[in-house]
């Protein structure tokens, strides 16, 4: 076969249309380069077979095993045939089953003693693990003379097992890789020669050969070290160039003014700022005083006082003659921020109004559900500069909204916000405004370096004085139903002591479409296979049960995303005022809802939530002087990973520790939801959690290279690889990030 000269060659030219189509649709592989970067997940060694005892249920697996026995069974009065084959590998046994016309070929080939590779989805039938209609490849030759040779060839090899799909087995992918492997010679090496030699890395073409067709385990380690470094380095160069470009943009420096709004605000604070708040404020003020835009990520635990730090930054900008906008992901949260900021500022938030301070400014709210008159007034206050601070949802981004002089954008809970939206708001300044991104989801350092790599990071890790401890416990509802009864008694006790409680459920309920969807899914799955797959518990049903049963006599209200914004706000206001005892809600309360009198939270089906989400939810209680209580109700089995996750949440209040656990369990997945789009797909070998040192070292090298040669004029190969990584979407992602 002719050597293909380019990684951009479409796969259908080499592999034929059908295979290329499956690769494109199911594995997102389109070019020769894509396939060469589709690395094996693991390697099988002869004699070290996949342990049949450890097969994961419901997953597509590849096993290498020996046929122990095979028999044909008749059923349906002799009209139906079934071939059952038992495999063994010394660790366990696995049954294969073939039906109907599909039994003839395997019956001839799968004879006792034969060894083969099998691929299929693991299921359970009659309490036994089985693969139904697996595809297989015999690992010994049918010709006796060739048998010894074939076995020897197989014995000496590490067999790559590729991430596969139902339509394409690992060994078919391996054959396709064989067809494109000669192209590895054309790989453009992104590492500058000095860096590659200095760190003793294998050349890239060799690394690709070694990762796909290793002769030894050392080959695999060599290749992985090199390929991980490439991914980390190219990404860090992209981010370093982004940061460098940002330092070249002009911005208006906003310096604190003596005796201005900030001083007046600080003077009336009833408490002193924590050391952490002082330190982070200084970092932000230093950034604001420069003539290029600040890009800072402020991460801090729920309740660590991020809003206070952000507000002081906004007041500084107002003092310096600019305006500040705070963007919240939901209306409930925007209203809440508006309420708490106007309360904290008092008469300083009533600039130009009767009784307002002459040093004050106007703080306006702008959301989609506002009435026309209020909205018109808010828009007028923004364009004239009368309002120094605006708080709103993405309604702030609409074309109609114009600012007098936008100096600072604060984005709350960034990973709920599309980068396009953030960008649209930034374009409303005469020059790019300063940007402060806040998140209460603790982000491990490596993720911050990878995903938010174009932002400088500040961390608030102290809780302000007066925050109470939160006790968390797992309630095993299935094994110990009396524990659940006790949980509702505890809620009642909290209410009797003058406090309030949240009950959180994963679903809203009472929705025909939702129910239909569940029914449809249930039909496909045989009921005996998985009795635990009931729909998640729903707000409306649980609220109903509690009103009639365990919490009869208490005021129980619901809050969820399908309610009208006014209705939501009304419920939230009454809950905050203490008129509602128990609020049964979906995760709409996860971010920013602040009711210091709420001391208890019961999370139903807690195993259906991620670790970080549980931590966020729990942060809603214990916000006042009384201690908080969080009960994680679950029907998950005691030995299951889901229960282990809940026990981890119950065991620590350290969000950074939990975010590490979360990341280890889910890998990169969607730890930050949308924020990772455009970056995650370029990470094939690198795992953000395990490769902290690689990422940190790559970042250092990248910063030095970009500082010396921002346009990478002397590194054309690196420029080429960057261009391929940053296809249009990703370039935009980084631009807007």
- Determine the Cα angle at 26 with ends 724 and 525, to 5°: 150
Q: At what angle do helices 331-345 and 306-319 cross, to 10 degrees?
A: 70
> Is the pTM higher than 0.85?
no
Only one residue has tokens 């707000």, namely 539
Alpha-carbon distance 314 to 407, whole Å?
Answer: 9
Summarize pLDDT for 420-444 with one digit per residue, the tens.
Answer: 666 676 678 778 889 898 887 767 6
Summarize pLDDT for 218-238 with one digit per residue, the tens.
Answer: 999 999 999 999 888 988 898
The percentage of residues in the chain with a pLDDT greater than 90, rounded to a whole number, is 26
Q: Do the Cβ atoms of 452 and 235 come closer than 8 Å?
A: no
Q: Do the Cβ atoms of 411 and 436 come closer than 8 Å?
A: yes
Q: Do the Cβ atoms of 184 and 205 come closer than 8 Å?
A: yes
Say how many Å lie between the first and final Cα of the chain, rounded. Answer: 44
Q: Do the Cβ atoms of 162 and 174 come closer than 8 Å?
A: yes
Please say if the pLDDT value at position 54 is more than 80: no
Summarize pLDDT for 61-96 with one digit per residue, the tens.
Answer: 777 788 999 998 888 777 788 899 998 877 788 899
Summarize pLDDT for 376-411 with one digit per residue, the tens.
Answer: 999 999 999 999 999 998 777 777 888 999 999 998
Alpha-carbon distance 8 to 21, whole Å?
Answer: 16
Summarize pLDDT for 446-502 with one digit per residue, the tens.
Answer: 677 776 676 788 888 766 666 677 889 999 888 888 888 999 999 999 999 999 999
């Amino acid at each position: 076969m002719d050597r293909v000269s380019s990684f951009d060659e479409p796969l259908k030219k080499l592999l034929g249309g059908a295979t290329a189509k499956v690769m494109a649709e199911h594995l997102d592989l389109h070019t020769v380069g894509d396939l060469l970067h589709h690395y094996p997940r693991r390697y099988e060694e002869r004699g070290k077979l996949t342990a049949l005892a450890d097969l994961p249920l419901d997953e597509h697996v590849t096993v290498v095993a020996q046929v122990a026995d095979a028999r044909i069974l008749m059923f349906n009065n002799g009209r139906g045939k079934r071939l059952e084959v038992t495999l063994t590998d010394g660790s366990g046994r696995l049954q294969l089953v073939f039906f109907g016309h599909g039994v003839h070929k395997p019956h001839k080939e799968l004879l006792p003693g034969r060894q083969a590779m099998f691929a299929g989805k693991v299921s359970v039938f009659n309490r036994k693990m089985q693969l139904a209609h697996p595809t297989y490849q015999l690992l010994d030759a049918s010709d006796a003379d060739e048998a010894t040779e074939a076995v020897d060839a197989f014995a000496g090899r590490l067999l790559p097992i590729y991430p596969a799909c139902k339509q394409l087995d690992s060994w078919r992918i391996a054959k396709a890789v064989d067809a494109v492997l000669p192209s590895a010679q054309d790989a453009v090496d992104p590492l500058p020669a000095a860096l590659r030699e200095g760190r003793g890395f294998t050349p890239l073409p060799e690394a690709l050969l070694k990762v796909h067709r290793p002769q030894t385990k050392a080959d695999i380690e060599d290749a992985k070290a090199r390929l991980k470094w490439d991914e980390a380095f190219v990404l860090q160069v992209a981010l370093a160039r982004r940061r460098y470009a940002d330092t070249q943009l002009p911005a208006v420096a906003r310096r604190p003014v003596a005796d201005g709004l900030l001083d007046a605000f600080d003077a009336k604070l009833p408490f002193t700022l924590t050391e952490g708040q002082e330190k982070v404020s200084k970092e932000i003020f230093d950034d604001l005083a420069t003539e290029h835009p600040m890009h800072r990520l402020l991460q801090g635990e729920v309740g660590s006082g991020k809003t206070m730090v952000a507000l002081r930054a906004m007041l500084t900008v107002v003092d310096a003659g600019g305006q500040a906008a705070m963007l919240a992901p939901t209306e409930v949260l925007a209203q809440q921020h508006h309420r708490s900021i106007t309360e904290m500022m008092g008469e300083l938030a009533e600039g130009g109004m009767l009784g307002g301070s002459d040093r004050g400014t106007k703080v306006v709210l702008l959301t989609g559900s506002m009435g026309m008159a209020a909205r018109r007034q808010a828009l007028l206050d923004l364009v004239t500069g009368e309002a120094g601070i605006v708080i709103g949802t993405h309604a702030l981004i609409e074309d109609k909204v114009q600012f007098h002089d936008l100096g600072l954008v604060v984005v709350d809970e960034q990973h709920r916000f599309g980068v396009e939206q953030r960008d649209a708001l930034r374009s409303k300044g005469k020059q790019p405004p300063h940007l402060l991104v806040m998140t209460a989801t603790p982000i491990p350092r490596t993720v911050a370096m990878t995903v938010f790599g174009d932002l400088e990071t500040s961390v608030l890790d102290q809780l302000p004085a007066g925050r109470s401890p939160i006790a968390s416990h797992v309630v095993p509802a299935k094994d110990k139903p009396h524990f659940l009864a006790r949980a509702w008694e505890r809620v009642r006790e909290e209410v009797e002591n003058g406090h309030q409680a949240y009950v959180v459920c994963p679903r809203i309920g009472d929705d025909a479409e939702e129910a239909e969807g569940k029914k449809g899914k249930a039909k496909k799955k045989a009921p005996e296979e998985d009795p635990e797959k009931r729909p998640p518990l729903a707000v409306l049903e649980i609220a109903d049960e509690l009103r009639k049963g365990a919490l009869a006599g208490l005021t129980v209200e619901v809050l969820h995303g399908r309610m009208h914004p006014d209705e939501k706000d009304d419920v939230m206001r009454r809950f905050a005022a203490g008129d509602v005892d128990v609020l049964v809600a979906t995760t709409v309360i996860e971010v920013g809802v602040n009711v210091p009198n709420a001391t208890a939270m019961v999370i139903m089906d807690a195993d259906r939530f991620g670790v970080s989400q549980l931590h966020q939810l729990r942060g809603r209680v214990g916000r006042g002087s009384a201690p908080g209580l969080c009960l994680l109700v679950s029907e998950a089995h005691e030995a299951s990973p889901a229960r282990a996750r809940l026990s981890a949440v119950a065991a620590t209040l350290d969000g950074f520790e939990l975010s590490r656990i979360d990341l280890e369990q889910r890998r990169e997945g969607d730890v930050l939801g949308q924020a990772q789009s455009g970056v995650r797909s370029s990470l094939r070998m690198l795992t953000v959690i395990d490769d902290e040192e690689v990422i940190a070292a790559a970042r250092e090298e990248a910063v030095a290279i970009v500082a010396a040669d921002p346009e990478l004029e002397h590194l054309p190969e690196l420029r080429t690889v960057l261009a391929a990584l940053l296809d249009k979407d990703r370039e935009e992602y980084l631009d807007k990030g």
